[in-house]
Amino acid sequence: MEKAVSREELWNFTAEWKRRDCRVALVPTMGNLHEGHLALLRHARERADRTVVSIFVNATQFGPGEDFAAYPRTLEADLQVLESNGCDLAFAPTEACVYPNGLAGAVRVMASPSLSSILEGRNRPGHFDGVVTVVSRLFNLVGPDLAVFGEKDFQQLLVIRHMTADLGYPLAIESVPTVREESGLARSSRNRYLDEDQRAAAGGISAALQQAVRMLAQGADPGQVERAGTQQLAQRGLEVDYFAVRRAADLAVPEPGDTPLRVLAAARCGRTRLIDNMAAD
């Protein structure tokens, strides 16, 4: 496995790959890699000749009071994991590489307001602007033929798909289903913040989502499903930001007969904020 820190190092590798007509896949991450990230890498390796995994904790997608400073940074361990799992190139840029004019002077990209102002966007103003700003920069730097994202961040996936199509990037956006722990808890770098009791409580998020999917299949009204899911999480001691049934294509409030649907949840377990979602037909 190769490693690049600067733009020039990255381009030395990608230019050679392009000369060989290699298909290149990008897996953007913020590091602290776990099995969910490795599922993305495996998908990328199946779909491309060369794989690039980026590791960069992006300041522009964290809001005031969020965990940017505390976010786990485990670069050396991540590099070992990537090498042992067949990654071709680890791109671990500095902030100056990604934002050469500094954060204050950086050109920003705005996410689609219709997608970025609801659910996660309502609870984390500016978050998705930060996401598309850094993802567009990674697309520009790497020049991939495809990029792979996890469905755990389903709203983010839709935001990135919209940005890619709207700005005309000549690449495919592919997704991988959420990877879960035995309890059903969606794998996340933030799970490491949870103690044993909190981890048990957080497993209730997936249980509530599964119940919601069953209720929808039985013909329950989305509003009823949302109220039941919110109550179920609250009974587990979780502070619920939202529990929502939305149209999967655009996260709009569903009209009767709309399919497929997506059930999305965000809740705080102690100081840790967790998100999850499940598909519903």
Instruction: Name the active-site residue from 37, 43, 127, 162.
Output: 37
Q: Residue 114: helix, strand or coil by DSSP?
A: helix
What is the C-alpha to C-alpha distance for residues 68 and 111, in angstroms, rounded to an integer? Answer: 20
Residue position matching structure tokens 């204050």? 104
**Residue 124 DSSP class:** S
Name residues whose C-beta falls within 8 Å of residue 251's C-beta, 6 or more positions apart in sequence.
115, 118, 119, 155, 158, 262, 264
* Active-site residue, 37 included: yes
What is the C-alpha to C-alpha distance for residues 28 and 5, in angstroms, rounded to an integer? Answer: 14
Q: Residue 79: helix, strand or coil by DSSP?
A: helix
In 10 A of CB 18, how many CB atoms? Answer: 15
Task: Kindly give the interhelix angle for 127-142 and 154-167, rounded to the nearest 10 degrees.
Answer: 50
Task: Provide the annotated active-site residues.
Answer: 37
